[in-house]
Amino acid sequence: STLTGVLDDCFCDIESIDVFNNFKIYPRIQKLTERDYFRYYKVNLKRPCPFWPDDSQCSIKDCQVEPCPEVRFHLCFCLPHNLHQYSQASNTRSDIEECEHAHELGAINSTLSNQSKEAFEDWARHDDAQDHFCELDDETSPDAQYVDLLLNPERYTGYKGPSAWRVWNSIYEENCFKPRSVYRPLNPLAPSRGLCLEKRVFYRLISGLHTSINIHLCAQYLMDEGWGKTVWGPNVREFRHRFDPAETKGEGTRRLKNLYFLYLIELRALYKVAPYFERSIVDLYTGSAQEDATTKDLLLQIFNEIKAFPMHFDEKSMFAGHKMEAKTLKEEFRLHFKNISRIMDCVGCNKCRLWGKLQTQGLGTALKILFSEKEIKNLPENSPSKGFQLTRQEVVALMNAFGRLSTSIKELHNFRTLLSDQR
């Protein structure tokens, strides 16, 4: 929890990032992600896990599908409790009640008004009229549906057990650029020294994402359900369990630093992509000219704050090398993120799968931007470009993913305050 000083791989300090984020970015990104354009995300939550048979039943001891009569349960495997070292607080409920409860916590609230459904049809017509040169499977699948992110906040849902461990282990093990001298299993908690910069970067990005999700679950923890009222709030004990150096064999500080590193990478991508959005031809279409103008104005305010930030990460050090090597690396990164998205299909809780897929796509979009600097610089002002484009889903994922990181850094500040009050 005592996290200060300079970050590895870049010339910037944590205290400056805290002030910049908590006062300049966080209030604005909160407002932006509440706008109609950014609150609805189209995602396919029905894709089967391609890597192993579906095992998304209750992971509570002795509570598999068979012992739960009447109902076939799906446990809320909300993305992270870091591998096997994270365990949930014990409960007084019976195992079957726990199964039902976990299923309820992880269910998607798919409520949409008829007005919203009509609007989505209009958005589809508008988006289809644009020139698109690459499509994502999730956007075009007949099983894809719009989800209201404000009705489905990312928070604690009771994720634990071997299935949860397997998801995160697969993300680290299958997708990390492993040094050839290292054999399976790769221990994601071991120091990443010895990897060249861009490969170390990849590990730190995944670790930062993992940390961010864990902070959200600690900050929005199910505290009480008495008198028919559910109370969510920060759980300091859970936070210590995941990040206190004394309880994590010193790993907690490294994880938190990786969160800041990921924040800087996505911040740099937003800095680079600002010219794309500043063009008058780019509208954030919802069908209401007033809403669209307000949303774009909010977005441009955020870009102006980002441009004024003095300590941006230099991504050139990340992708240095021969042109062909950089091109190969770009393709390698793209395939890794595609794989991670498919691993997310193995998460047995829809709400967790939703946020996992969104944040993976947001980070993948940020890397796509960093690899496309020349194309962005050469964009025509008043006509669509065949060189560089972002789909609606990429834009929504990009800003919501950055919003999640901004929220994590703000919540980290709140936890520091709570911890100092306990001393």
The answer to whether the annotation marks 140 as part of a ligand binding site is no
Q: Provide the b/e sequence for 276-306 (b: ≥16 CB within 10 Å).
A: bbeeeebebbbeeeeebebbbebbeebbebb
Residue 349 is among the residues annotated as catalytic for this protein: yes
Q: Which among 49, 58, 176, 352 is annotated as catalytic?
A: 352
Residues 136, 138: Cα–Cα separation, whole Å: 5
| H or E element that contains 145 | strand 145-148
In the block, residue with structure tokens 């908690």? 189
The answer to whether the annotation marks 56 as part of a ligand binding site is no
Helix, strand, coil proportions of the chain in percent (round to 5)?
55, 5, 40
The DSSP annotation for 167-233 comes to HHHHHHHHHS---TTPPSSP-TTS--TTS-HHHHHHHHHHHHHHHHHHHHHHHTEEEE-GGG--EEE
Closest to 202 measured CA to CA, from 315, 353, 311: 315
H helix runs in 345-389, sequence order: 350-370, 373-377
Q: Which among 10, 76, 99, 349 is annotated as catalytic?
A: 349
Residues 249, 253: Cα–Cα separation, whole Å: 10
The answer to whether the annotation marks 242 as part of a ligand binding site is yes
Read off the DSSP letter of residue 105. H
| H or E element that contains 43 | strand 40-43
Amino acid at the residue 216: H
Q: List, in order, residues 6 or more apart from 245 with CB less than 8 Å away.
A: 251, 252, 253
The answer to whether the annotation marks 168 as part of a ligand binding site is yes
The answer to whether the annotation marks 413 as part of a ligand binding site is no
The catalytic site residues sit at: 349, 352
Binding residues: 155, 157, 168, 207, 210, 242
Binding residues for FAD: 155, 157, 168, 207, 210, 242
